[in-house]
Structure 1
Amino acid sequence: MRLASAKVGPFRSISRSQSIAIDPSITVLVGMNEAGKTVFLKALHKARDALEIEKYLILDDYPRKDLASYRKRHQINPDTAVILTYELSKDDIAEVNNELNTNISEGYNFEVYHQYDNQISLDIKVDETPVLAAMTTLEGLSNEAIEILKDSQTVRQAYERLQSISLLTEGEQTLIERIKTSLDKAKDLSGWDMITALEIWHLIYSKIPQFLYFSDYDLLPGKLNLNDLKRRQTLATTNPANEAKQIEPKHQAILALLRMADVDLEDFSSGPGYDQLKSQIESVSINLTDRVLEFWKQNEDIEIEVDIRPDPSDAAPFNDGPNLYLRIKNKKHRGVSTSFDQRSRGFIWFFSFLVWFDSIQYQLGLVGKASEKKQILLLDEPALALHALAQKDFLNYIDQLSVNHQVIYTTHSPFMVHADRLHQVRVVEDKGDEGTIISENLSGSNARTIFPLQAALGWNIAQNLFIAKHNLLVEGVSELALLQTMSKIIEDHGEKGLNSSITIMPVGGINNIATFISLLNGNGLNLAVLYDYNGTPDQKIDSMIKSKILSKKSVFNASQFRDHEAPGENTIASDLEDLLEPILYLEYFNSAFRKELGETIVLEPDLPPGDRIIQRIEKYLLKNKITLRPTPGYNHYSVIIAITMNPPKHVSPALIKRFSELFKYINQALK
Structure 2
Amino acid sequence: MRIESAVVTNYRCIVDSGEFGVEADKTILVGINEAGKTALLKAIQLVSPTPDTPKIDWLFDAPAPMVDDIRRGNLDRERMAVAKVVLTPDANDVEGLGLANDSDIRLEMTAWLSGKRTYRVTGLQPSVSLGDVDKSIVRLTSAMSKQSSEDAKAAAQGLTAWRASRGQSDPISGETADELRDHLDSLLPLFADGSAAEGYWDALDSVVKEAKGQDEVGKHLLSKLPPFVYFSSYFSVRPRIHLNRLAEREESGEIDLDYDFGNLQLLKFLGFTARELSNMDSEAPTKGVNYDTDVQEQERYKAALAAHERRLTERKRALQTAGARLTAEIRRVWNDDSLTLRLDVDGQYLQTLVEDELGIPVELDQRSEGFRWLVSFFVVFHAQAKDDLRNAVLLLDEPGLSLHALKQQEFRKTVSALAEGNQIIYTTHSPFMVGADELDLVRVVEMVDRKVGTKVHTRLAVDDPKSIYPLQAALGYDLAQSMFTHQRNLVVEGITDLLIIEALNAAFSSDGGPALDGDIAIVPAGSASKVVYYSTILTSQSLKVAALLDSDSAGDLAAEQEALWQLLSTKRILRTGDHISVVQHAEIEDLLRQTLAQIARDELGWDSVETVQSQPTRPLMEVLVAEHPGASKWKLSRAFAKWLSANGTAALDDSEREAWRSLSTAVNKALA
TM-score band by shorter chain is: 0.7 to 0.9
- Match for 1:304: what amino acid? L
The answer for the alignment partner of 2:105 in structure 1 is 108
- Match for 1:4: what amino acid? E
Go from structure 1 to structure 2 and tell me whether the alpha carbon gap of 1:478 and 1:116 turns closer, same or farther (over 3 Å shift).
same
The answer for the alignment partner of 1:328 in structure 2 is 354
Aligned-pair distance for 1:269?
A: 3.1
- Aligned counterparts of 2:415 and 2:394: Cα–Cα separation in 1: 10
Larger Rg: 2
> Does structure 1 retain, via aligned residues, the 8 Å contact 2:593–2:620?
no
What is the CA deviation profile of residues 59-91 of structure 1, one whole-angstrom value per residue up to 9, with x for unaligned ones?
222212112323427778432211110112344
The 5-angstrom pairing of residues 346-495 of structure 1 reads 346-361=370-385, 364=386, 370=388, 374-432=391-449, 433-490=451-508, 495=513
Aligned-pair distance for 1:532?
A: 0.9
The answer for the alignment partner of 1:613 in structure 2 is 620
- Residue 125 (structure 1) aligned with residue 113 (structure 2): no
- Aligned counterparts of 1:212 and 1:306: Cα–Cα separation in 2: 24
- Match for 2:350: what amino acid? L
Aligned-pair distance for 1:38?
A: 0.2
Instruction: Give identity over the alignment, percent.
Output: 25
- Match for 2:261: what amino acid? P
> Does structure 1 retain, via aligned residues, the 8 Å contact 2:491–2:531?
yes
Go from structure 1 to structure 2 and tell me whether the alpha carbon gap of 1:667 and 1:229 turns closer, same or farther (over 3 Å shift).
farther
> Does structure 1 retain, via aligned residues, the 8 Å contact 2:596–2:640?
no
- Aligned counterparts of 2:366 and 2:572: Cα–Cα separation in 1: 54
The answer for the alignment partner of 2:167 in structure 1 is none
Match of 1:284 among 307, 316, 322: 322
Go from structure 1 to structure 2 and tell me whether the alpha carbon gap of 1:648 and 1:189 turns closer, same or farther (over 3 Å shift).
farther
The answer for the alignment partner of 2:5 in structure 1 is 5
- Residue 85 (structure 1) aligned with residue 60 (structure 2): no
What is the CA deviation profile of residues 156-197 of structure 1, one whole-angstrom value per residue up to 9, with x for unaligned ones?
xxxxxxxxxxxxxxxxxxxxxxxxxxx999962557544442
Go from structure 1 to structure 2 and tell me whether the alpha carbon gap of 1:544 and 1:210 turns closer, same or farther (over 3 Å shift).
same
Aligned-pair distance for 1:435?
A: 0.9
- Aligned counterparts of 1:604 and 1:656: Cα–Cα separation in 2: 22
The answer for the alignment partner of 2:141 in structure 1 is none
**Consecutive unaligned residues in structure 1, runs of 5 or more:** 130-182, 237-241, 311-321, 564-569, 595-599, 629-633
> Does structure 1 retain, via aligned residues, the 8 Å contact 2:77–2:112?
no
> Does structure 1 retain, via aligned residues, the 8 Å contact 2:489–2:522?
yes
The answer for the alignment partner of 2:19 in structure 1 is 19
- Match for 1:465: what amino acid? M
What is the CA deviation profile of residues 636-660 of structure 1, one whole-angstrom value per residue up to 9, with x for unaligned ones?
3343344446668664322344335
> Does structure 2 retain, via aligned residues, the 8 Å contact 1:607–1:617?
no
- Aligned counterparts of 2:502 and 2:483: Cα–Cα separation in 1: 17
The 5-angstrom pairing of residues 639-658 of structure 1 reads 639-644=636-641, 651-654=651-654, 655-658=656-659
TM-score (norm 1): 0.74
- Aligned counterparts of 1:378 and 1:4: Cα–Cα separation in 2: 15
- Residue 508 (structure 1) aligned with residue 539 (structure 2): no
TM-score (norm 2): 0.74
> Does structure 1 retain, via aligned residues, the 8 Å contact 2:233–2:400?
no
- Residue 254 (structure 1) aligned with residue 244 (structure 2): no
- Aligned counterparts of 2:502 and 2:384: Cα–Cα separation in 1: 38
- Residue 188 (structure 1) aligned with residue 178 (structure 2): yes
The answer for the alignment partner of 1:314 in structure 2 is none
What is the CA deviation profile of residues 592-644 of structure 1, one whole-angstrom value per residue up to 9, with x for unaligned ones?
687xxxxx9785169877442234455x46xxxx866xxxxx75334334444
The answer for the alignment partner of 1:268 in structure 2 is 281
Aligned-pair distance for 1:294?
A: 1.2
The 5-angstrom pairing of residues 577-596 of structure 1 reads 577-582=589-594, 584-585=596-597, 588=600
Go from structure 1 to structure 2 and tell me whether the alpha carbon gap of 1:246 and 1:515 turns closer, same or farther (over 3 Å shift).
closer
Go from structure 1 to structure 2 and tell me whether the alpha carbon gap of 1:253 and 1:649 turns closer, same or farther (over 3 Å shift).
closer
- Residue 217 (structure 1) aligned with residue 234 (structure 2): yes
- Aligned counterparts of 1:112 and 1:492: Cα–Cα separation in 2: 37
> Does structure 1 retain, via aligned residues, the 8 Å contact 2:370–2:402?
yes
What is the CA deviation profile of residues 202-257 of structure 1, one whole-angstrom value per residue up to 9, with x for unaligned ones?
33333222200111222111212111122222223xxxxx5456972242243244
- Aligned counterparts of 1:392 and 1:127: Cα–Cα separation in 2: 44
Aligned-pair distance for 1:453?
A: 0.8
- Aligned counterparts of 2:380 and 2:109: Cα–Cα separation in 1: 28
Backbone CA RMSD of aligned residues: 3.7
- Aligned counterparts of 2:10 and 2:518: Cα–Cα separation in 1: 44
Aligned length: 566
Aligned-pair distance for 1:557?
A: 2.3
Q: Secondary structure at the match of 2:11?
A: coil
The answer for the alignment partner of 1:518 in structure 2 is 536
- Aligned counterparts of 2:355 and 2:273: Cα–Cα separation in 1: 20
- Match for 2:619: what amino acid? R
What is the CA deviation profile of residues 550-577 of structure 1, one whole-angstrom value per residue up to 9, with x for unaligned ones?
46555432123326xxxxxx98531101
- Aligned counterparts of 2:258 and 2:109: Cα–Cα separation in 1: 34
Aligned-pair distance for 1:449?
A: 0.9
- Residue 293 (structure 1) aligned with residue 331 (structure 2): yes
- Aligned counterparts of 2:355 and 2:20: Cα–Cα separation in 1: 45
Go from structure 1 to structure 2 and tell me whether the alpha carbon gap of 1:668 and 1:326 turns closer, same or farther (over 3 Å shift).
farther
Go from structure 1 to structure 2 and tell me whether the alpha carbon gap of 1:530 and 1:395 turns closer, same or farther (over 3 Å shift).
same
- Match for 1:573: what amino acid? H
Q: Secondary structure at the match of 2:16?
A: coil
The 5-angstrom pairing of residues 138-217 of structure 1 reads 188=178, 190=180, 193-217=210-234
Go from structure 1 to structure 2 and tell me whether the alpha carbon gap of 1:211 and 1:533 turns closer, same or farther (over 3 Å shift).
same
